[in-house]
Structure 1
């Protein structure tokens, strides 16, 4: 299997094909509840670190984000509207805890927009520097 990844001139960060593939599976087939992406600084590319099964909860998702390291994540949030319609929103979360390294925060910040463009179908974007900024209440209010 040959993996092609394009580097971005600005941040020099490539996106592993697996990232796009897994995202498409989440979007089209709902194979996953969430995907956590990590930047491999040495390889200068974004890779899939973890995927969550459809039955996993939002708590499982937040627990899979490291407390002191940056990550990108995608979460498929199901909810019921006021009109009692079942809906789903795909969230892109840029996790950048205050305790993470400055260099890491800069790399994640500078690569975010380009990485997000690779994932076609994101509906809501969230930036979070601590868990309260991406609590379930925040997700619910942003989803509707």
Structure 2
């Protein structure tokens, strides 16, 4: 998919990366600012859960620039059962707290978060 937004393929403005500790969300201080889509995927740990809120920039089929706020629920199968349970329990309360999220994605592996897959979910 060609990006005509002038921002590069899949450049995202990361709002926050959250982890759940003892049933409460905590921001991850290590990531902020603009990331490429590939950098975002690399930042997701293979064995820990996370919530990610960011703006996905893309071009529509007609070539118009567009941006959607995306909430990713990252819960890889390699995460410990206790962490997966805490993440699952926190998912709806976090989703309810966030105004303006236009796309919600549950992902257990990186194939669910491919750029084209996310863009296809925006329509």
Counterpart for residue 87 of structure 1: 66
Q: Relative contact order: is structure 1 or structure 2 higher (C-alpha 8 Å, sep ≥ 6)?
A: 2
- Aligned counterparts, 1:56-135, within 5 A: 56-135=35-114
Runs of at least 5 residues in structure 2 that lack an aligned partner in the other structure: 1-11
Question: With structure 2 as the length reference, what TM-score do the two structures score?
Answer: 0.82
When Rg is computed on C-alpha atoms for both structures, the one with the higher figure is: 1
CA RMSD of aligned residues (A): 1.5
Q: What TM-score, normalized to structure 1? A: 0.71
Q: Which has the higher helix share?
A: 1
* Alpha-carbon distance in structure 2 between the residues aligned to 1:111 and 1:45: 8
Structure 2: distance between partners of 1:60 and 1:88: 18
Cα drift, residue 81 of structure 1: 1.2
Q: Give the number of equivalent residue pairs.
A: 110
Q: Which runs of 5+ in 1 are unaligned?
A: 1-31
Higher strand share: 2
